[in-house]
Amino acid sequence: GNAPEKKDVILRIDNVSKRFDATLAVDSVSLDIYKGEIFALLGGSGSGKSTLLRMLAGFEKPTSGRIILEGQDITSLPPYERPINMMFQSYALFPHMSVEKNIAFGLKQDGLPRAEIADRVAEMLRLVHMSQYARRKPHQLSGGQRQRVALARSLAKRPKMLLLDEPMGALDKKLRTEMQLEVVDILENVGVTCMLVTHDQEEAMTMANRIGIMDSGWIVQTGAPKDIYETP
Ligand code: ADP
Ligand code: ADP
């Protein structure tokens, strides 16, 4: 992929399909993601949202098609070599590690100097308003606080893109609305490009700048939230 990219396209999904035996989970999806946007993939269960997201993260390899990040073909790169991070629905925090150790984990693995790790962890804690909880363990936190830590951990490496798999899935309904606004606020503050996956129309409307409706492995429509639901 040496062709010049349109200036503000960060990620190009080019004719990507994924087949599991008889199931065509993702069917020839082409989609451009723009720098700094929060894009929501919205669709029912089994529509292919997670499979598409997992291919962007590198956990699944496309059966065909290409994934281009800032002009570089990353289709065959393993997850840890991609400047793309994923926040899981279950948060996947390490239960025996403190909040600060959870956030530092990936940075340590990357071999960042200690002082820089400390700075980065402090910055992330401030970003998600969790500075006073640095020494707590995940089980000593509320659901919303755990989500803030997971977000901090997934942003600590300064990924070019953040993928969020059903970001509010582990929260009860009341907390969900509150956290949607808070998470968007944090993401916009950082300016990171995001793709989130949800089956919740309201969540997509609240959090995203742009929505793609997914059905049977296809993206059947994309548009701004206000354009998607205008009844003709
Ligand atoms: P969604 O995230 O929208 O619920 P998925 O991407 O999880 O949809 O699934 C899309 C389709 O692919 C479904 O029919 C699902 O059963 C199938 N599928 C997903 N992952 C696998 C897998 N690892 N093996 C076989 N089939 C799978
Ligand atoms: P669920 O949506 O059912 O709560 P998760 O979002 O935690 O599940 O995980 C979705 C998929 O990603 C699962 O197949 C799981 O094995 C995988 N997974 C979860 N955490 C990680 C991780 N840190 N690295 C790689 N794969 C993971």
Verify whether ligand 1 is closer than 6 Å to residue 138 (CB atom): no
How far is 204 from 186, CA to CA, in rounded Å?
16
How far is ligand 1, taken at its centre, from the CA of residue 84, in Å? 21
pLDDT attached to residue 172: 86
For residue 60 the two structure tokens come to 């699944």
Q: How many CB atoms lie within 10 A of CB 119?
A: 12
pLDDT, average across residues 37-52: 97
Both tokens assigned to 38: 């929060």
DSSP E strands in 3-63: the ranges are 9-20, 23-34, 38-43
pTM for the whole thing? 0.86
Nearest CA owner, ligand 2 atom 11: 88
CA of residue 182 to ligand 2 center, whole Å: 23
Between CA 38 and CA 8 the distance in angstroms is 14
Confidence of residue 89 (pLDDT cuts 50, 70, 90): confident
Mutate to test the pocket of ligand 1, among 21, 26, 45, 51 (most ligand atoms within 8 A of CB): 51
pLDDT band (50, 70, 90) for residue 88: confident
Ligand 1 atom 21 nearest Cα: 20
Tokens of 169: 């899935």
CA distances from 55 to 19, 50, 229 (A): 12, 8, 28
